Amino acid sequence: MGHPLPAKPDETLTKPAPSSLATTSHSSWLTLRVILLATLLSPVCTYWSCDQVVDRIFSLMIPPVMLTLVVVLANKVLIRFAPRAALSEGELVLFYGMQTLICAMSGEWLATINPYIAGYALAAKNDTSIQNHVMPYISGWLYFKSAKQLKAFNDGGYPLSYTLTHLGIWWRPVLAWTVLVTLVCLAMLCINTLMREEWTRRERLAFPIIQLPMALTAGGGASSFWRNKYVWGGFLVMAAIDLLDGFHFIYPSLPWVNVRFLGDVSAWFPSPPWNAIGWTPIGFFPFIAGIGVFMPTDLLFSCVFFFFARKAEQVAVASFGNPQGVFGGSGLVPGPPYLSEQSWGAFLGLFISAIWVARGYLSELWRDIKSGAKKPSDISPRAAFVGLVVSVVLLGWFGVELGLSWWLVVVYVVLFLVFSIALTRLRAQLGAPSHEMAFMGPNQMLVDFVGTQGVPEATISRVVTTFYFMNRIHRTDPMPSQLEAMKMGEASGVSPVWMFGALLLATIIGSILGHLTLIYFGYYKGATYSRHLGQLVGTSDTAGVISDLVNNRRPPNPTAITAVLAGFSFVLFLDFLRFRFPGFPFHPAGYALAMNFGVDYYWFGLLVVLLIKMFVTRYYGLPGYERLRSVAMGVILAEFVVETLWTSMAIATHHATYSVSINGRLGWNL
C-alpha cells in the first residue's frame, strides 16, 4: 500500500509531442498580450472570489480554472480559423498562473484584512475592548481611526458610481496593505525560485493539484484530452447529477442524488467519551474524490489513518475529563490533546526534513549564490536570494514604522515563511484538496514558547492587528499556487523570468482589486452585509484575542511546547522509518494535514478513492489507472462547470443556490 502507482509521479504530466502551440514564443509581445488579457479579466476573478467564497476555499480554486477554460475554448476557435493568432500552451499556462494568484490574493488574506480597515473605527463606539486595546495603537496608514467618513459605507445602499467617487479616502490603507502583502509574497516567490529545481526536477514531486489545468492547456487546447471518451463519460454523468441536485435545491419536490454530506459519524456515538469525536461528517464531494485519484496511494492512506488517529486522541483525553470540541482540546485555547501544537510541530518537522533531503542541492545553490552563476533564461540564485533578504528586511522596517521591534517582525515573518514552505512542499507532494489550518500561526507559537508576561500592551495590539492574516486560516496561502504555476510553466516552456514577473504583478492586482471589490460591497450592501464584514459590530476576533492576551498574562506553556516537540519528533521518526523500510505506509505529510481541521470535510471521499485505486491497479494495472484518471478529470471539470452555472445565478439573483463546494452558500452543509 505504501508504494505509489508504477508510473513515476511526474509521468502524470505527460503530454503529446510538442507542436507549434506547445511552447511559449520567445517574442516578448506575445507574452505581454496574455499578461494584458489576464489583467483585463482580473476583475471577474476578484469579484467571483470575494462574492462567492465557497468557490475558492480549496486547493484547486474554481474561478481560475473556469476563466482558463473560457480562454482555452476561445483559443480552439482561433486554432481552427486563425492559427497564427492563437495562444500557445505556455501563454495559457501564464494566464492560469496569474488567475490563481489573483484569486488567492483576493481570498482568505483580504477577507481577514479588509473588514478591519474600517471595522475598528465603526465598532469602537460600542466595544470597550476595541476602545481600550486597539484604537490607541493601530496605524493610520493601515486603518481608519475615525468613523466620520464611513457612514455611507456602514449603511450601504449606494451604487458603484458612488463607490468610485469616494475611493479617495481608501487609497492610503489599500496601498499600505498591498505593500505589506506583496513583500510577503515576494519573499515566497524568491524561495520558490530558489527551490524550484529541487522540488520539480530532482525530487520530482507529484503536483496532483495541477493535473486538470495542465490537461486543459496542453497543446494550446489542441491535445487528445478533448477527444477522450472516458473524460466525457465522467463529465456527462457528473454534470447530470449536479444539475439535478441544483434544481432540487430550488424545487425540493424534485428528486436528487446526494453526493456531498451523507451523514455524521458523531450522531452514532451520543454518549461520552465517544461523543468527544465532535462533528465528523461523511462527505463525498466528487471533485475532491477526483483530486484524490492523482494523490500517491501512501499519502491517501496516511490522511485517512491519521484523521482517525486524531479522533481517537480526542476520545482518549475526554475519558480523562478533558472536554473536546470540533477543533479538539479547549477549542482555540491550548488544551489536551494540543492538536494545533502537534500540527505546528509536524510542519516544523516537514520543514527540517525538506532541508535535510535537499542538503546536497542547497550546498550547490549556496555556491551559485556566492559565485553569481546562473542558467540561460533563468533567474540567478543570487538575485533570488537578494530578493528574499531585501523583502524580509523591508518587512522588518515596515514593522518599525508601526512601532514594533525590527527583530520581532523578522522572527515573526520567518516563522510564517517556514510554515508556508512546509505547506507548499506538502501540497506539491500530497495534493491536499484543502488545507484549512484554522487559527494556526506565529501568534500561537510565540505565546506558547515565550508567553505574554512583560510584553507591552502596544506590542501585543500591533502584532495581532497587523499580522492577523498570517494566523486566521491558510486555505488560499499564495505560496503553493506560486510553485504550481512555476511547475506548469517549466513543463510548457515559459520563461522563469516572465513567470516570476507575471506572478508578482498578479499579486499586486489581486490585492488592490480585492480591496476595491470588498469596499464596493460595503457601500452597496452595508458594512455588516455578510460573513465577510460581519465582525464589524461587537467584539471582533482580533480585539478578543488582544483583550485575552493583555488581561490574562501567560508564562511559557511547557505542555504546549512538549506537544510541538512531540509532533516534530513524530514526523522525523516517520521519515526515518520511511527511508529505511520500502513500502512503509505511514507518511508524515498525512499526519501534518490530518491533525488540524480540514480533512474532516472529505476524509470519506479519500477513503473511497483509496479503495477504488487499490482495486483498479491490482486488477487492471496501469491502463486501468489511466482510464480512472481520465474519468476523474471529467468529474472535476463537470463539477466546476455546473458550479459556475449555479454561481452565476447566485450572483445575478442574490439568492442562494446549490454548491458542489465543501461549504454551502447557506452554511457549512447547506
- Tell me the residue range of the domain where 592 lies: 28-653
pLDDT value of position 244? 98
Q: Is it the case that residue 309 has pLDDT exceeding 90?
A: yes
Whether omega before 16 lies within 30 degrees of 0, making that bond cis, reads no
Q: Is it the case that residue 540 has pLDDT exceeding 60?
A: no
Q: Is it the case that residue 439 has pLDDT exceeding 90?
A: no
1 located within any domain: no
pLDDT value of position 535? 43
- What DSSP string runs through 326-382? TTSTBTTB--TT-HHHHHHHHHHHHHHHHHHHTHHHHHHHHHHHHHT---TTS--HH
What's the number of domains the chain is made of? Answer: 1
- DSSP class of residue 580 equals H
Q: Is it the case that residue 299 has pLDDT exceeding 80?
A: yes
Separation of alpha carbons 541 and 115, rounded Å: 11
Which secondary-structure segment (H or E) carries 261? strand 261-264
Please report which confidence band the pLDDT of residue 537 belongs to, taking 50, 70 and 90 as the band edges: very low
151 located within any domain: yes
Mean pLDDT is lowest, of 30-39, 370-379, 557-566, 610-619, for 370-379
pLDDT value of position 329? 62
Residue that the C-alpha cell 498591498 belongs to:
178
Burial of 2 (0-12, 13-18, 19+ CB in 10 A): middle
Separation of alpha carbons 394 and 410, rounded Å: 9
Could you report how far apart the first and last alpha carbons of the chain are, in Å?
36
3-state secondary structure of 31: helix
- Phi, psi dihedrals of residue 262, rounded to the nearest 5°: -95, -15
pLDDT value of position 539? 36
Give mean pLDDT, residues 225-236.
97
Please report which confidence band the pLDDT of residue 25 belongs to, taking 50, 70 and 90 as the band edges: very low
pLDDT value of position 11? 38
Q: Is it the case that residue 538 has pLDDT exceeding 50?
A: no
Mean pLDDT is lowest, of 61-65, 192-196, 210-214, 532-536, for 532-536
Give mean pLDDT, residues 428-448.
91
Please report which confidence band the pLDDT of residue 29 belongs to, taking 50, 70 and 90 as the band edges: low
10 located within any domain: no
Q: Is it the case that residue 404 has pLDDT exceeding 70?
A: yes
3-state secondary structure of 282: strand
Give mean pLDDT, residues 502-515.
98
pLDDT value of position 583? 86
> 264 pairs with which residues across the strands?
281
pLDDT in tens, 570-614: 999 999 999 899 889 999 999 999 998 889 999 999 999 999 999
Please report which confidence band the pLDDT of residue 332 belongs to, taking 50, 70 and 90 as the band edges: low
Whether omega before 273 lies within 30 degrees of 0, making that bond cis, reads yes
308 φψ region: left (φ > 0), alpha (ψ -120 to 50), beta (else): alpha
109 located within any domain: yes
490 located within any domain: yes
pLDDT in tens, 104-130: 999 999 999 999 999 999 988 888 889
Q: How far is CA 201 from CA 97, 103, 206, 360, 373, in A?
A: 19, 27, 11, 14, 19
522 located within any domain: yes
Higher pLDDT, 645 or 11: 645
Percentage of the chain lying above the pLDDT 90 cut: 82
pLDDT in tens, 355-371: 999 999 999 999 999 99
Separation of alpha carbons 575 and 488, rounded Å: 28
Q: Are 22 and 219 in contact (CB under 8 A)?
A: yes
Give mean pLDDT, residues 454-465.
95
Please report which confidence band the pLDDT of residue 28 belongs to, taking 50, 70 and 90 as the band edges: low
Q: Is it the case that residue 21 has pLDDT exceeding 60?
A: no
Q: Are 49 and 105 in contact (CB under 8 A)?
A: no
618 located within any domain: yes
164 located within any domain: yes
Q: Is it the case that residue 10 has pLDDT exceeding 60?
A: no
Q: Are 215 and 633 in contact (CB under 8 A)?
A: yes
Which secondary-structure segment (H or E) carries 262? strand 261-264
Which amino acid, 95? F
pLDDT value of position 49? 96
pLDDT value of position 19? 39
pLDDT value of position 593? 93
pLDDT in tens, 472-490: 889 999 999 999 999 999 9
What's the whole-number average pLDDT of the chain? 91
pLDDT value of position 20? 41
pLDDT value of position 629? 97
